[in-house]
Amino acid sequence: MTETIGTPILEAAVAEGAHDQHMVLNMGPQHPSMHGVLRLVVEIDGEIVVRLYPEIGYLHTGVEKTCEAKFYHQVVPLTDRLDYLSPMANNLCYCLAVEKLLALEIPEKAQWLRVLLAELTRLNSHLIWLGTHAMDIGALTVFLYTFREREEILRIFEGLAGQRMMTSYFRIGGLSMEPPLDFYDRVQAFINIFPEKIDEYSNLLTGNPIFRSRLKGVGYLSAADAIALGVTGPNMRGSGVDFDQRRDMPYSGYEKFQFNVPLATEGDCWARYEVRLLEMRESVKIIQQALDGMPEGPIKADAPKIVLPDREKMKTQMEALIHHFKIVTEGFAVPAGEVYQGIESPRGQMGYYIVSDGTAKPWRVHFRNPSFATLQALETMCKGRMLADVVAVVGSIDIVLGEIDR
């Protein structure tokens, strides 16, 4: 059954590059500006990019296959490791998808906390993007500043979940445990100072002539191309397509929050930079609303056969102990069916497609990750531009290889 179609990428590029004057250049997978293990095969004419092939798969772990051998609740920690810079967004998408399959209502407090954490994750992710993007361009200072603020977010996560990056804090049916006592105060203290910090980054970059000239007019993507190539999220909104699932197809209670969806029409790296900076300010607004209006109540759904009981109950009540034992050893059966749940992750539209055959393990799990589609647009953005602009464009589209290769 073996068959190979097409030729390996480097050879193909050489063979198809009919022009003798063109050079085929390999960038990555180990290249400091390639955000992990992205490999680009670039055909250049002098310093002008003629063609560009992204070559991916260096981080492929077959996680979709792994999911088929796990119980539904065991998949949650696997999703953390896809887009490792925004673990809560992955958790949220997966939990919402399974809850849709189960037709499970989750309590309001859990929904609000999920929104709060999803927005903190967005700040976390955008801070890394800003720092590394500026570093690629040569502005190292910003990197140190953004990581200072990111550190505070990671400390909040650590207090919450016991883990800084791979939080696995969400559960099917709610959240794993109550947040610690100082959680709300810490988040409040953080968002009190954070808008000033955004001004600080903006002061360093927005007026910086080198940063401006490296980004303005570079990596142009039209609105039509963005839709045709499946580009989503801030990259799409930087091209003037006004669509945000948080506002237009709300999930997890986002319809109760007031926020703007930043939009830019230029479609270049600068537009994407501006959109993300504004998005951070909007996230702060959402977090403030979530803190102010946080409802009281449980953080787990009342579904003893699906949600693990509290530790205390498990030790004192026979029934809770039995449920705990059954969930851990046998999982829980999920009604047969297929669902697709989309959310707005920091990078764009994330969608998890889950097919259940009625047993305790998913028949098929598929992750639609925004970076994968965004990468297709890279050639369109880089064609006809200087080779050095490739670095600026790769930085500006904010890809994470963990979710591309899966």
Partner 1 sequence: MSEALKNTLQGRAAVVEGLPEHPAVKAILAWNSAAFVDAKFDRGELTLTVAREEIRGAAAAMQAAGYNFFEDVTAVDWLPSTPRFQLSYEILSHSYKERIRLRVLVDEESPAVESITPVWPAANFYEREVFDLFGIRFEGHPNLRRIMMPDDWQGYPLRKDYPVEGYR
Residue 124 or 341 with smaller CB distance to partner 1: 341
Interacting span for partner 1 (CB under 8 A) from 73-81, 127-135, 306-314, 366-374: 366-374
300 makes contact with partner 1 (CB under 8 A) = no
Tell me if 210 sits within 8 A of 139, measured CB to CB: yes
Residue closest to 83 by CA, chosen among 233, 284, 260, 240 = 233
Which H or E run contains 55? Answer: strand 48-55
Question: 3-state class of 11 per DSSP?
Answer: helix
Which H or E run contains 26? Answer: strand 23-27
* Residue 172, CB-side half-sphere exposure with 13 Å CA sphere: 28
Tell me if 167 sits within 8 A of 157, measured CB to CB: yes
Q: How far apart are CA 139 and CA 131, in angstroms?
A: 9
Cβ 94 to partner 1, closest distance in Å? 15
338 makes contact with partner 1 (CB under 8 A) = yes
Total residues binding partner 1 (CB under 8 A): 45
Instruction: Find the binder of partner 1 among 70, 164, 256, 364 (CB under 8 A).
Output: 364
353 makes contact with partner 1 (CB under 8 A) = yes
248 makes contact with partner 1 (CB under 8 A) = yes
Instruction: Find the binder of partner 1 among 28, 233, 351, 395 (CB under 8 A).
Output: 351
Q: How far apart are CA 132 and CA 258, in angstroms?
A: 30
Instruction: Find the binder of partner 1 among 162, 302, 340, 383 (CB under 8 A).
Output: 340
Q: Chain-centre distance of CA 336, in angstroms?
A: 28
DSSP notation for 114-153:
HHHHHHHHHHHHHHHHHHHHHHHHT-HHHHHHHHHHHHHH
Instruction: Find the binder of partner 1 among 65, 315, 326, 383 (CB under 8 A).
Output: 65
Instruction: Find the binder of partner 1 among 4, 21, 258, 329 (CB under 8 A).
Output: 4
Residue 66 or 188 with smaller CB distance to partner 1: 66
User: In the structure, how many helices (H) and strands (E) does the chain have?
Assistant: 18, 8
The 9-48 contact track toward partner 1, x by CB under 8 A, reads x---------------------------------------
**Binding region for partner 1 (CB under 8 A):** 1-2, 4-6, 8-9, 56-57, 60, 62, 64-65, 69, 100-101, 103, 105, 227-230, 241, 243, 248-249, 337-340, 342, 349, 351, 353, 355, 363-364, 366, 368, 372-373, 375-376, 405-406
